[in-house]
Structure 1
Amino acid sequence: MIKQTYTFEVNGEKNAVYTISNSKGCEVDVLTYGARITRIWMPDRNGAFGDLIVGCKNPEDYYGPSGYYGATIGRYGNRIGGSQFTLNGVTYKLEANNGKNNLHGGKTANFDRKVWDANIVGENLEMTLHSPDMAGGFPGNMDVKVVFSLSEDNALRIEYFAKSDKDTVCNLTNHSYFNLGGQDTILGHELMIKSRQITPVDDELIPHGDFLDIDGTPFSFYDGKLLGTDMFSKEHIIAHCNGYDFNYCLERSSEHDLEHFAYVYDKESGRRMDCYTTLPGVQLYTACGTGGFKGKKDYVNHCSLCLETQGYPNSPNCPTYPSTVLKAGELYNEVTVYKFSIK
């Protein structure tokens, strides 16, 4: 069932919160501002329900912080080095909002700061947005749709669609911050990511087209381990980031099927989240800079983790990476699923 549960207005912009629920009492709240997940309500092993999403206390508060909490990210999730790319012989200049680089679509046309249109279509919540030609420097009039649904077995499905009237680049994701047990940090959460390589980065977190084998290193989660095991490793780039903020190249058996790539498990609550995607990569971000954020509670660094499914960062400038080019008239269609259970 889906229903509108809250409305408000900020700066003349009308917003609404929609609650998606199933017969088990599990719920997901989605806000039109940023097509943003603001609450995931799931039981623990004792049947006690809790909120698994780190974020703001009130929906109106999302107009304040810039941490992308729970938001749909676009046009291009993650970083584009030098805030530019060349496509079909034309160099497009983007907005620099992360040093000299472009992060999560820039600062004026980024999807997380737009009010999306919402429609309930059967058991799906559909959110749509039009991004005009050259918005933020990106070519093409782009129409975007994100479809949210919650199954009876507690699988939150997020499906992305986009179409442009010009060749462009497109890389959509969701930036939810998860904490399965409500603890101050996720250092005791167990994480597995089905990946043996990352795209290594420079000190500005920009990859340059190469790959790094990570078996047996602090980067690897292939066999599952507690997040705190190597969080404070002296390995240069982990220490530089104060944790994890890297793109993992997923080990896949097909190019575009929906495949399992990760799980997160909190032994204390018994909650487990299994993750599936059609995309080739995932950004593991361990909330390295959230300390001092006052939201639903006072948060500290490493209070949560993000698993942002994606094309590779800086792919438009790296021909060795899977292409994120969206041809004019072609359909971008990707799926990510977060499935919740108790162990």
Structure 2
Amino acid sequence: MILVTGGCGFIGSAFVLRWLQGQDEPILNLDLLTYAGHPGNLAPVAGDPRYLFVRGDIGDLPLVSELLARHRPRAILNFAAESHVDRSIAAPQAFVETNVVGTVKLLQAAHAYWQALTGDEAQRFRFLHVSTDEVYGTLSAQDPPFRETDAYEPNSPYSASKAASDHFVRAWHHTYGLPVVTTNCSNNYGPRQFPEKLVPLMIHNALKGLPLPVYGDGQQVRDWLHVDDHCAGLRAVLDRGRVGETYNIGGRSERTNMQVVHAICNALDELVPRAGGGKYAELITHVKDRPGHDRRYAIDDGKIAGELGWAPALAFEDGMRQTIRWYLDHQDWVESVTSGAYRHWVEQNYGGRARAA
């Protein structure tokens, strides 16, 4: 068995679904079900005897210790995190509690559990920590992509909290010997992503005929990674990654935010033309940029490609089209997550931002 934390979130649920499609090894999912953790993400496996869900907090040391002792997983994959930069700017404390304090308590439980293992069980055990490229800071247009040896220079409360968690994971390996591996991924997109992030927000607003808010000039560059490619990379790291190492996982698809938004608009123009005519791009509205907005992220994935033989399989255009079709075909899911609390957040975050000059 393996244990995943935060398995009802966007990336975690994609990993659980892919895992159960590929083998019979059971999977235990510990998730607190905060606003972005949606049980419906895992409805296809809800009755599967290989899948077990426990609602709980990674910071609940007695609960995590009891689950480890009872189920004896061979690995822990830590997806649990607060992950939205805008929310971290508005309320940073929650990011410290989950991403830093929660990770430290999870490490404590994992270390105590691992120390009690013997023989092959102890040799096989892994703690895989899922992190982000944002810990490296920002790049200029001329800078080479991030490598695993680059210094950490986080610029938002979110990325600072993830950087801190990465450092604690490293410390638990070097101080206590815990067999850890860390991954730092680029911007994920795909089905079941909570619609506060760029791609699902644009799809949702476009279909509702609402403004498509783009920060500043929209020329911020991100490397776009389909969530299924990310999950395949995580599986490679879990199976073959070297203990104590970090692996960057990227999509090889650098795009500006405006390029992404126009790609979404062009696909929607073809798939669901606007009633009464017009183009979805007419809804694009430039709004005041968020504080400390990093200009460019890019990933050098040479290490995971060379050591583990992983490479992204989906081209950006194909992956984005598949993603848009999923949202069009699952409007019931969208309606279930865009509750009053979600609408309040969108209004709070974007409603007060003046249009950019």
Q: Normalization by structure 2: what TM-score?
A: 0.25
Q: Greater helix percent: which structure?
A: 2
Q: Normalization by structure 1: what TM-score?
A: 0.26
Q: Greater strand percent: which structure?
A: 1
